[in-house]
Structure 1
Amino acid sequence: MSLRIGTRGSALALAQTKKVAGLLADRGIETEIITITTEGDTATGVPLHAIGGQGVFVRALDEAIIRGEIDAAVHSMKDIPAARPAGTVCCAVLERDSPADFLAHEGPLDAVRIVGSSSTRRRAQLLREEPALEVKQLRGNVDTRIRKLREGQYDAIVLAEAGLQRLNLTLPGEPLPTDRFVPSPNQGTIAVVCRDDPAVAEVFAPLDHAPTRLDVEIERAVMEEVGGGCFTPQGIYCRNGNLTAEVLALDGSRWERIERHITTIDEARECGRELRRQAADLIREAYAALGIKP
């Protein structure tokens, strides 16, 4: 069997897709990699929440699967929205790489004043840690972000450590501790989405890592109950059933947090509902500040 695998054209997306293709090749499965441009790749001058959130990176690939142009697509799992179109299925979740954020900076850490990030979560967590920081919008692929750092447009930028590892990039800086900088749901995880066809899904099944899938499904269940998407700063991270979930004010001045051991998806959903009740004011404030209707 030969499979057509779709991907975005960024260096990171291609590296992730080549990793999946390599794992399939080890099992004697031939693949063809097809690059597809998404709205998130072309509209780089505006914040993600203004063009529909992380789902803009996934939509075009979902549509290509449904139209039959590709058999499957490889994604950073954190980009996959909760609502999924009929005709697609998440057929494999690879073993998780580092879930941490990485603060890259060329000069000394105590000289960092301006940090680049387009994530409301990262902005809020950075300001919680150091309210005097200025966090400025930063979009574009990894190469573009690093170039802007080296040009001096920012003193530091925040990237996913897993992405740097997959690109074999070594930058000056340090990973941010996940207890204080709780990652976004599913950060560090690669997922494969395919058309809802048992024969296709079966090919990818050996790549699925059950412990990672359970952890990220717990995170997604909490995320779905909390709501807010990329509009509301929220970190949700589970490792071996140990969940940390928080919602923050946009300026990092206040937050609500839950830490709990979770064994079932139902328990995760209850935690999500509990966190949503606790953080109701923060969620409303975030929507109002961004001019978005809840």
Structure 2
Amino acid sequence: MPPIIRIGTRASALARRQTEIVSRFLHENGIGTEIIIIKTEGDADTGVPLHQVGGQGIFVRALDDAIIRGEIDCAVHSMKDIPAARPDGIRTAAVLARDPPYDYLAFEIPLEEISCIGTSSTRRKAQLLRYDQEFEIKELRGNIDTRIRKMRSGEYDAIMLAEAGLARMSIHLNGIRLPTVQFVPAPNQGTIAVVCRDAPETIEALEPLDHPATRQDTLIERAVMEEVGGGCFTPQGIYCQNGNLIAEVLSLDGGRFERMEEHVETIDDARKIGIELRERALDLILEAKAILGLN
């Protein structure tokens, strides 16, 4: 077991907070840590949509590279940011117990007056438009504080955030929790994962942080996501709780969608559902890629 584990993280306040949570758990198990900040291209390019800079996976790539180069022993991520395709030699050593998976609509004006909502997620945009086609959805990126400041300055009537991020940062905002039945979360939303080299001593040190029930639900979600494909640009919500799965793919404008609800016991069954959902939703996936100018 290594005497000190070097943990890599992005520079954002939320990323650092998540890393501090992992570091604290390791210290409680008698393992020292060193936190190392890794800059990512996605953090620099906050003025353009995510699909134009490589999607959520861009936040993970720099940390994967640092692990492979031996600069850090492991990295902490919001699990929903981890893409389906992973480099050789990188392993998800621990999946922490899930925090609230919900989307949260934050606002400071009367709910009935909301018309302009900020989000950078194609999924959230599509689900909002499915709920009400009259909404104006505007691109919104940046850290949590930046998003809140833009809402309070009047650039947006409301903003959509992951409730888990607010909880981890102890931020309390006026707003409403959105139900998972209508606003199906992104795969693995609300979950922190720790990835590392496939090195036995590091894996052994991280194993006590793993939460088996959360790992099983998130692996089911990832299996569906991997089979559906479409990248992080196709609006899709995939959420599993105690084996109860909701999975959907939407058109970018929220006007059409394909949806499946099943109880899933095994990863193989999850893959079968993902294959079926992809077949049903292939036109929506291809349409989203064409509209966004992706191959």
Q: Which amino acid counterpart does residue 80 of structure 2 have in structure 1?
A: K
Map 1:192-207 → 2, pairs under 5 A: 192-207=194-209
C-alpha separation in 2, matches of 1:61 and 1:75: 9
- SS, match of residue 56 in structure 2: helix
The aligned residue for residue 177 of structure 2 is 175
The aligned residue for residue 216 of structure 2 is 214
The aligned residue for residue 19 of structure 2 is 17
Q: Which amino acid counterpart does residue 235 of structure 2 have in structure 1?
A: P
The aligned residue for residue 185 of structure 1 is 187
Q: Which amino acid counterpart does residue 27 of structure 2 have in structure 1?
A: A
Q: Which amino acid counterpart does residue 260 of structure 2 have in structure 1?
A: I
Q: 2:129 aligns with which of 121, 127, 130?
A: 127
Shift of 1:229: 1.6
5+ residue gaps, structure 2: none
Shift of 1:280: 1.1
Q: 1:92 aligns with which of 94, 107, 110?
A: 94
C-alpha separation in 2, matches of 1:176 and 1:169: 17
- SS, match of residue 53 in structure 1: coil
Map 1:23-172 → 2, pairs under 5 A: 23-172=25-174
- SS, match of residue 17 in structure 1: helix
Shift of 1:281: 1.0
- Establish whether residue 268 from structure 1 lines up as the match of residue 254 from structure 2: no
The aligned residue for residue 227 of structure 2 is 225
TM-score, normalised on structure 1? 0.99
Backbone CA RMSD of aligned residues: 0.5
Identity of aligned residues (%): 66
C-alpha separation in 2, matches of 1:41 and 1:87: 25
Aligned residue-pair number: 293
C-alpha separation in 2, matches of 1:154 and 1:116: 6
C-alpha separation in 1, matches of 2:282 and 2:231: 14
5+ residue gaps, structure 1: none
TM-score, normalised on structure 2? 0.99
Divergent runs of 4+, >6 A: none
- Establish whether residue 238 from structure 1 lines up as the match of residue 240 from structure 2: yes
- SS, match of residue 58 in structure 1: helix
C-alpha separation in 2, matches of 1:248 and 1:200: 40
Shift of 1:24: 0.5
Tell me the alpha carbon deviations over residues 250-294 of structure 1, each in whole angstroms, 9 at most, x when there is no partner. Answer: 01001000000000001000000000011111111111111111x
- SS, match of residue 221 in structure 1: helix
- SS, match of residue 90 in structure 1: strand
Q: Which amino acid counterpart does residue 220 of structure 2 have in structure 1?
A: I
Q: Which amino acid counterpart does residue 10 of structure 1 have in structure 2?
A: S
